[in-house]
Amino acid sequence: MIDVGDLSYLSLYLLGDKPLPEEWLKAADVDGDGDVTIADLARLQQYLSKKITSF
Distance CA 10, CA 20 (A): 8
The reported pLDDT for the residue numbered 54 is: 87
17/30 Cα distance (integer angstroms): 20
* All residues at 6 or more sequence positions from 55 whose CB lies less than 8 Å from its CB, including other chains: 30, 31, 43, 47
For residues 9 and 24, the answer to whether their CB atoms sit within 8 Å is yes
What are the pLDDT digits (tens) for 3-54?
999 999 999 999 999 999 999 999 999 999 999 999 999 999 999 999 999 8
Would you kindly state where each structural domain of the chain is located, as residue ranges? 4-48
